[in-house]
Amino acid sequence: MLARHPIFFVCSGFRGEFADARDWSRNIEDMPPGRSVMKRCAHALVLLVFLGRGLAAQQLPTAPPASVGISSERLERMHRGMQAFVDRREVAGIVTLVAREGKIVDVHAVGFQDVESRKPMRADTIFRIASMSKPITSVAVMMLYEEGKLLLTDPISKYIPSFRNQRVATGTATEPARRDINIRDLLSHRSGLSYGFLDDGPVGNAYRATGVSDGLTVTNGTIAENVDRLAAAPLVSQPGTEWHYSLSTDVLGRLVEVVSAMPFDAFLRERIFTPLGMTDTSFDVPDAKWSRLATVYSPDRSSGIRPMKDPETFLNTVMSPIAYYKSPKRYFSGGAGLTSTIHDYARFAETLLNGGTFGNVRLLSPKTVELMTLSHTADVPPSPLLGGGGGFGLGFLVTTDLARSQTLGSVGMYGWSGIYGTNFWVDPKEHLIGIMMVQLFPGATVSSSFQMLVYQALTRSDYFPALRTSQPSAGGRQSVSGAASR
C-alpha cells in the first residue's frame, strides 16, 4: 500500500537503503551538496513511513459476531430494540457499536440525524459527547502523572493558587475546609465542588452569581478564568468526604494546561487524538463537518420529540447545542466540551481495554488503567447518581456489585455517559466494548436497554469457562452491519 503512494514516483531517484525510518533520518543530512530535491524527498519519505505506521495502527478490525462468541440473531434483537425507540418517537436516531476481543462485530444506525430534513443517522455522525469528555481528560491527567509531573496526593492549590484557603457551605454560613482538595479528589469527584445545574442551594447560587459556566453553553474567557471563579465559591462538602458530580474535570483540564505548558485543546489533540487517529474528535465542529452534527432533541408531549432550542434553560443552567459548538472557542471544558463519532470513541475505549495501548501507540501503563478503573468511593456515602452497585474510579463509573446494579454486565466493567444521551462501557472480563450515541435531553432509557441487549447476545462468557471451547452458532448474519461502511 505504501509503495503505491505518489511520493514514491516523485522520489524514484532516491536509492537510500536504511534499516528503518530512523536510519533514513540520520543519513538525510549526509547527502552531498546539490541533492536538495532528494533531501526534500527523503524528509517526505520519513514522514510518510511514520504516518503509514500510525494509520495502520488506527484501524480497529472487524469480525463476524460468531467468531468472538456473539449471536448474530440476538444482535438483531438489539437492532429491533433500538428501532423501537425511534418508532415510538422517543429519540430521533441512534448509532450503536459493539466490539469484542479487539474487533468490531456490529455497527448499526437507525432513525435520523435530523428529523426535519429526513437526514438519516449514520455511523460517521458527529455527536456532542458532553460528559464522555471526562474519561479523556482523566487519561490526560494520568499521562502527566506517569511522567512524574504530578502526584495524586498533590493539592490542586500547588498548581492553581486560587484554590487556597477554601471554605465549605454550612447552610447560610461557611466554615474553613479541613484540608486542601487534591488531584485524586478531582478525578473521583470527592472534591466538594458541584455543578450549578445540580445545585439550587447556596453553592449553586454562588456559581450563578459569579458566572461559573457548567461547560454547556457559550462561555466567555478561558478555562483559567472560569476555574478561578469556581475556586472563589464555597464547597458543598469537606474535601474527600462525599461524592458529588461536579466541575472537577474542568479543573483538571486547567491542571493539564499548567503542568504541560500547553493549551488544553492542543494537549488532547497532540497527545491523544492524533496518535489514536481520532480525526473527528474536537471542541469545535469545523464548517466542513457541520452537516454531520446530529440535532439535539427534547421530549415533547404533543409530538414525542422536538428540536432543542438554542439556547434553552434546564435545571438551573443554560444549554446551547448549536452556538457552543459552531465557532472556535477559548473555553475548553474538560468535563463537557467535546464532540466525537462512535468510531473515534471506539479507538479510545479499545485503548483502555488494552491496558493503555492501541496498535503501536501507548498512552498509559496497564497498572495505571487498573488504578483508574477501581472504585475510589467505597469509603464515602453512596450517591443516587451512581445507581445501585456502582462506585467511581478516576474518571469512570465502576460496577462493584452486579446484583445491586440490576442489569446484565460484569463486576469491574466501567464507563460513563453524557448529558445529551451518549454512553459507553468497557468490560475487561468479557473483553467487550459497547457504545451508544443519541442526542436527547432530558434523556431516555436507551442506554440501559442497549447494555442489556448487547449482553443477552453473548454465547460465551468468562463466568462460564466451559463455554470458551464450545463451538459458537454460525446462524444469522456473519458480517458487520452495513452501517459501519457508511
Same domain, 94 and 14: no
415-441 average pLDDT score = 98
Judge whether residue 14 has pLDDT over 90.
no
CB 435 within 8 A of CB 428: no
Indicate the residue among 268, 287, 306 that finishes a domain: 268
Q: Report the range of poorest mean pLDDT among 190-199, 213-222, 363-372, 418-427.
A: 213-222
441 vs 373: CA distance, rounded Å: 28
**Does residue 128 sit in the same domain as residue 227?**
no
Same domain, 166 and 255: yes
pLDDT band of residue 172 (cuts 50, 70, 90) is confident
Of 118, 109, 117, give the one whose Cα is nearest residue 83: 109
**Structure confidence at residue 385 (pLDDT):** 86
User: Which domain range does residue 48 map to?
Assistant: 2-58
Report the C-alpha gap between 248 and 160 in whole angstroms. Answer: 13
Residue pair 111/123 in contact (Cβ under 8 Å)? The answer is no
d(CA 318, CA 305): 19
Q: Would you state the pLDDT for residue 477?
A: 38
Burial class (CB in 10 A: 0-12, 13-18, 19+), 279: middle
Task: Return the minimum-mean-pLDDT range out of 16-20, 160-164, 425-429, 440-444.
Answer: 16-20
Instruction: State the pairing for strand pair 93-100/119-120.
Output: unpaired
Which residue in the block uniquely carries the three cell numbers 447552610? 171
Confidence band of 249 (pLDDT split at 50, 70, 90): very high
In this predicted structure, the answer to whether residue 437 has a pLDDT above a threshold of 80 is yes
Q: What is the average pLDDT across 146-156?
A: 99
- If we measure between CA atoms, which residue out of 351, 346, 477, 468 comes closest to residue 71? 477
Number of domains in the chain: 3
Give the least confident one: 1-10, 195-204, 446-455, 467-476. Answer: 1-10
**Could you tell me the CA-to-CA distances from 1 to 4, 11, 48, 49, 235 in Å, in that order?**
6, 16, 12, 11, 57
pLDDT at residue 177 above 80?
yes
Q: Which of 194-203, 314-323, 405-414 has the lowest mean pLDDT?
A: 314-323
Cα–Cα distance between 322 and 335 in angstroms, integer?
18
Residue 456's CB is within 10 A of a number of other CB atoms, namely: 14
- Among 58, 87, 103, give the residue marking a domain's end: 58
Q: Looking at residue 37, what is its pLDDT?
A: 42
Q: Are residues 261 and 172 in the same domain?
A: yes
Residue 327 pLDDT: 67
Question: What confidence score (pLDDT) does residue 50 get?
Answer: 39
**pLDDT tens-digit profile of 195-225?**
999 999 999 999 999 999 999 999 989 999 9
Kindly compute the dihedral angle of the four CA atoms of residues 163, 166, 169, 170, in this order, to the nearest 10 degrees: 160
Distance CA 211, CA 27 (A): 57
372 φ/ψ angles, rounded to the nearest 5 degrees: -65, -30
pLDDT value at residue 329: 81
Do 70 and 176 belong to one domain? no
**How many angstroms separate the CA atoms of 323 and 415, rounded?**
28
One domain, residues 191 and 257: yes
User: What pLDDT does residue 29 have?
Assistant: 40
Between the alpha carbon of residue 285 and those of residues 132, 164, 292, 341, the distances in Å are 17, 36, 9, 12
Task: Kindly tell me if the per-residue pLDDT of 30 is higher than 80.
Answer: no
- In this structure, the number of other CB atoms found within 10 A of the CB of residue 173 comes to 10
CA 89 centroid distance within chain: 27
Q: Residues 18, 100: one domain?
A: no
Q: Are residues 72 and 128 in the same domain?
A: yes
Phi, psi of 227 (to 5 degrees): -65, -35
CATH number of residue 320's parent domain:
3.40.710.10
Per-residue model confidence as pLDDT tens digits over 84-137 = 999 999 999 999 999 999 999 999 999 999 999 999 999 999 999 999 999 999
Query: Which residues are annotated as catalytic?
Result: 131
Biggest distance spanned by C-alpha atoms of the chain:
79
Per residue in 264-282, pLDDT (tens digit) is: 999 999 999 999 999 999 9
Identify the pLDDT of residue 393: 98
